[in-house]
Chain A
Amino acid sequence: MKPAPFDYFDPSTVDEVLDLLGDHGDDAVVIAGGQSLVPLLNLRLAQPGVVIDPRRCTDLRSFSVDDGGLTAGALVTAAELEASPEAGALPGLHAALRQIGHVQIRNRTTIGGSIAHADPAAELPALLLALDGSVTLRSRDRGERVVTADDLLIGSFMTVKEPDELLTRVRLPRFGGPVTVLELGARPGDFATVGVIVGLADASAGVTDARVVVFGAGGRAQRIPAAEAALVGAPAAAGLDAAVDAVRADTEATGDAHASADYRRHVAGTLVGRAVRSLAGITTGGTA
């Protein structure tokens, strides 16, 4: 229950971090808030030879919010975003942040660390996908590239980030309507057995934009395009049942000790139904 030995570096500039990653990439890991990595180190599920800590790189610690959305350095913490009224006004962000562990975890959790870790049950990668967000990846040898959430997330704990790349910045666009995040878990604060993120623009008049994401069900957070299509073009109530059916049909799920794949698909549909009802103010209808 203690980490295996490693070499530790905490340079004060991003360029030095990239140098270290360029030299040690395959055997190195970057520690941000450590709330996912340190358990892996303690359990020795991860045994890197080199740990690179960018905490002194102050340019990774700031964020700004404008009409277009949030731009955040990788080391901005969940607690910092949670305390910001400007960030809280971004549809979906506050709801997602509040469901990350507990306050003691959120005080250290970072937005970049959570997304780079790509836990299939994590809220921030799922929100990035729902809002068509992107991240900036930087390396010493190939410079910078901006990668969309859909391209970034390739599987359970897997992203297209190369071993010599550092995730430096997160861009989370502002959605044109309310966004809700619902989870089913054993206890509040636990990893979601399954969770959903739903966004609806103009829910009562005639939906102009819909986002439906399921996370915690299988390999990575997934958009459900058929559910989004079912909701767009009419008041949300009209597309509700079709959206729920589409979620249950199209969600890729796996079974484990906590829940079967069928159960996860079913609950994903139920949660999407609840989310649509709550966003659109629909008070009639069943539980699904």
Chain B
Amino acid sequence: MNPATRTVALTVNGRPYEATVEARTLLSDLLRHELGLTGTHVGCEQGACGACTVIVDGRAVRSCLMLAPQADGAVVETVEGVASPEALHPVQAALHAEHGMQCGFCTAGIVMSLVASHRAGVPVEEATEEVLGGHICRCTGYVNIRAAVDAAWAVAEEASS
């Protein structure tokens, strides 16, 4: 194969995909343009804003800072795969209940970071400071997003006690 193009095989939200793309394709563009998963938003394309955050092999990462070929063989989760058909993920439910958004552009990335942290048992202080620190929201001032983190983590605590 021409070394400027690559066939990338990966699992996204539990479904196997294969796409032949230019090697320079970003993971964010593979998800959006090749797989039609436009829930992942692209903001700054230099890793600063966090809007494009997805979960790759269990860890929250910037999909705009990964070349699609680097994700060959990876297990990727995007915002489209977070909820079950029956219910929102606790993080999504809390963002909804607390209205932790305004325009919603940054929300998909925030959901993915918080879902990864929630799953990993990250303490609530770390989630509100360090994890949210990796996301820029230009609407809310973060008050309701932080309230949603508190609410989602409180639910988890109740469930485990």
- Bound pair (A, B): yes
* Residues on A facing B (Cβ under 8 Å): 1-10, 31, 34-35, 38-39, 41-43, 51, 53, 55, 79, 101-105, 107-108, 187-189
- Chain B interface size, under 10 / 10 to 19 / 20 to 34 / 35 or more: 20 to 34
Q: Are B46 and A51 in contact (CB under 8 A)?
A: no
Does chain A have a CB within 8 A of B87?
no
CB distance from A288 to the nearest CB of B (A): 28
Q: Are A6 and B61 in contact (CB under 8 A)?
A: no
Q: Mark the stretch among B20-28, B96-104, B141-149 that contacts chain A.
A: B20-28
* Residues on B facing A (Cβ under 8 Å): 3-4, 6, 22-24, 26, 29, 45-47, 50, 53, 59-62, 64-67, 69-70, 72, 113, 117, 129-131, 133-134
| 11 intermolecular pairs with C-beta atoms under 8 Å apart | A5-B22, A6-B4, A34-B65, A34-B70, A35-B62, A38-B47, A53-B67, A53-B70, A102-B133, A104-B50, A189-B133
Cα–Cα distance between A224 and B144 once the two chains are bound (Å): 46
CB distance from B130 to the nearest CB of A (A): 6
Q: Are B65 and A8 in contact (CB under 8 A)?
A: no
CB distance from B154 to the nearest CB of A (A): 21
For B131, the closest partner residue in chain A by CB is A103
Among A1, A4, A79, chain B packs the most CB atoms within 10 A around the CB of A1
For A102, the closest partner residue in chain B by CB is B134
CB distance from A191 to the nearest CB of B (A): 10
Cα–Cα distance between A189 and B59 once the two chains are bound (Å): 18
CB distance from A10 to the nearest CB of B (A): 7
Query: Could you say which residues of chain A place their CB within 8 Å of the CB of B4?
Result: 5-8
Among B3, B24, B69, B72, chain A packs the most CB atoms within 10 A around the CB of B24
Query: Could you say which residues of chain B place their CB within 8 Å of the CB of A103?
Result: 60, 113, 117, 130-131, 134
Cα–Cα distance between A3 and B116 once the two chains are bound (Å): 28
